[in-house]
Copies of this chain bind each other. A is one copy, B any other.
Amino acid sequence: MPTKVQLKKQQKTDSLLTTAYKLFTERGIANTSIADISEKAGVAKGTFYLYFKDKYDLRDRLIAKKAHQLVMAAYHKLKDPMNAPLEDSVIALTDDILDTLNKDRPLMNFLSKNLSSGVFNRIVNAPSINCDEEDFRQIFMEMLAHSQIHYRDPDIMLFLIIEMTSATGHSAIMYRDPVDLAGLKPHLHTAIRNIMNEYREKGTES
């Protein structure tokens, strides 16, 4: 297949995804029709079906894309992620992600509405869709391996942290209830450190 054609296909896909995201966040998925998306994306209604099975197929691909961008952007801002203390890296990651979502309410809303059980955990565990993309799970495991401290049940530890952070973060950002994000952070930091401390293998670290 000539590159030119593939490029055009990529453009259509991108246009549909971008337009759909805009409409989904503006008026919700239920109130967005395929006709809307197609029209605003500048393609014919029939063309939509050449690229996506239906509205929910598009949505799922959109979530994966947005979530992956969010996490990887936070990761790439870390300084020396492999050598810094793991606790600090985890807190830096969660802070950055929460800050981003706090500034981008539509994104927070879109992700939380569609990742009902914990915004982060799904993202983290989801293997990258495009095979050439980085996989956050692998990266985190590398960070763990490089850490001088050993942790018991690292999966469950991460799970507790992720779910607590995402659920409380969501409430703080969207409803400022019972506190806003700034008010929540110190509590969250303490709770994360306590959890990680609990899972720290005694006698580890020199």
Which A residues lie at the B interface, using CB under 8 A?
A: 30, 112-113, 116-118, 121, 125, 153, 155-156, 159-160, 163-164, 166-168, 170-171, 174-175, 177-179, 183-184, 187-188, 190-191, 194-195, 198
Q: Could you tell me the distance between the alpha carbons of A30 and B56 in the complex, rounded to whole angstroms?
A: 13
Copies, count: 4
Residue of B nearest to A154 (CB): B178
Report the minimum CB–CB distance from A165 to chain B (whole Å).
9
Q: A195-B194, A198-B190 known; A156 and B170 CB under 8 Å?
A: no
Report the minimum CB–CB distance from A14 to chain B (whole Å).
25
Report the minimum CB–CB distance from A162 to chain B (whole Å).
9
Assess whether B160 is in contact with A117, with CB atoms less than 8 Å apart. Answer: no
Assess whether B156 is in contact with A179, with CB atoms less than 8 Å apart. Answer: yes
Residue of B nearest to A115 (CB): B116
Q: Could you tell me the distance between the alpha carbons of A194 and B170 in the complex, rounded to whole angstroms?
A: 22
Report the minimum CB–CB distance from A196 to chain B (whole Å).
11
Residues in chain B near residue A175, CB distance under 8 A: 117
Q: B112, B116, B121, B159: which contacts A113 (Cβ < 8 A)? A: B116
Residues in chain B near residue A194, CB distance under 8 A: 191, 194-195, 198
Assess whether A187 is in contact with B156, with CB atoms less than 8 Å apart. Answer: yes
Assess whether A160 is in contact with B187, with CB atoms less than 8 Å apart. Answer: yes
Assess whether B164 is in contact with A178, with CB atoms less than 8 Å apart. Answer: no
Q: Could you tell me the distance between the alpha carbons of A167 and B118 in the complex, rounded to whole angstroms?
A: 6
Q: Could you tell me the distance between the alpha carbons of A159 and B153 in the complex, rounded to whole angstroms?
A: 25
Q: B112, B118, B168: which contacts A160 (Cβ < 8 A)? A: B168
Assess whether A187 is in contact with B153, with CB atoms less than 8 Å apart. Answer: yes
Q: A113-B116, A116-B113, A198-B190 known; A168 and B163 CB under 8 Å?
A: yes
Assess whether B174 is in contact with A159, with CB atoms less than 8 Å apart. Answer: no
Q: Could you tell me the distance between the alpha carbons of A116 and B153 in the complex, rounded to whole angstroms?
A: 27
Q: Could you tell me the distance between the alpha carbons of A102 and B164 in the complex, rounded to whole angstroms?
A: 20
Residue of B nearest to A187 (CB): B156
